[in-house]
Structure 1
Amino acid sequence: MNDNFYLPLTIILILTVMIPFLFHLSRYLGDVTKNNNAINQTYESGIKKTYKDSFERFNIKYYLVAIIFIIFDVEILFMFPWAVTLRDTGLFGLVEMFIFMTLLLAGLIYIYKKGALKWS
């Protein structure tokens, strides 16, 4: 058997053990958050200190936009394998993808007509 057969597996195992160890070790070697007040400010960390109830209601538009994004983002997941196998599938695969994209375009038109993309 080849001497380098287990080399990639060995490298992956070493990295799998070393990376979490180094992340854990960096907490103690470079801990600047205790002495640096700028990190605790709103501008620096992006976290505001709120004094309100944690169960405050959000506008439904945030959830609607997130769901629409996920739906059209999953479309890309279906298009990547199609693009890779386009030569193998030929004209049938091309027509099939155009039907798929037409259905997604119809869904986008429906969402636009319903006013789901209007923020006001």
Structure 2
Amino acid sequence: MQSNLVLSSLMVAVLVILLPLLFHLTKYLGTHSDNKRKNEPFEGGIRATHKDANDRFNVKFFLVGIIFLIFDVEVLFMFPWALNLRELGMFGVIEMFVFIGLLIGGLVYVYKSKVLKWI
């Protein structure tokens, strides 16, 4: 127990020292190319035609984001399941198949409601 604490503390200390050092090294050793396009924020391929931040986005962008979050959260449930598959046994396998079936049902619903048709 004590050795795990020492190793963890040592790893955190090395990271605290190493990360700022690496950031500064890349800043000083890297190539610098300053131009107008480099200083613009990346907006996912959409060129800003004006500078008003209060303009509304199309609701389709929000739908894609929400659908991504819903179907991405499944990994949070599937990863611990995969790690504990032996302890869960057949009940865990059946439970995960039900969960995956619900996800597939949601995906079929999204497809049939044509939410992503504009992409």
Q: TM-score, normalised by structure 2?
A: 0.72
Cα distance change on mapping 1:45 and 1:95 into 2, 3 Å = same
Separation (CA, whole Å) in 2 of partners of 1:8 and 1:85: 24
Letter paired with 1:41 = R
Q: Where do 1:2-81 residues align within 5 Å?
A: 6-20=6-20, 22-23=22-23, 27=27, 29=28, 33=32, 36-38=33-35, 40-41=36-37, 46=42, 51-81=50-80
- Distance, in Å, in 1 between the alignment partners of 2:86 and 2:3 is 38
Q: 1:55 to 1:31 in 2, by over 3 A?
A: farther
Measure how far apart 1:95 and its partner are: 0.7
Describe the superposition over 1:53-112 as per-residue Cα deviations: whole angstroms up to 9, x where unpaired.
Answer: 111211111110111011111111211111111111111111101111111111111111
1: distance between equivalents of 2:72 and 2:4?
40
Aligned equivalent of 2:89: 90
The whole-number CA distance in structure 1 between the counterparts of 2:3 and 2:96 is 46
Q: C-alpha separation between the residues in 2 aligned to 1:114 and 1:82?
A: 31
Q: Residues 37-56 of structure 1: CA distance to partner in whole angstroms, max 9, x if unpaired? A: 44x326x9747675331112
Structure 1 unaligned spans of 5+: none
Question: How many residue pairs get matched?
Answer: 115
Please provide the CA RMSD for this pair. Answer: 3.4
The structure 1 segments of at least 4 consecutive aligned residues displaced by more than 4 Å after TM superposition are 2-5, 24-27, 30-33, 44-50
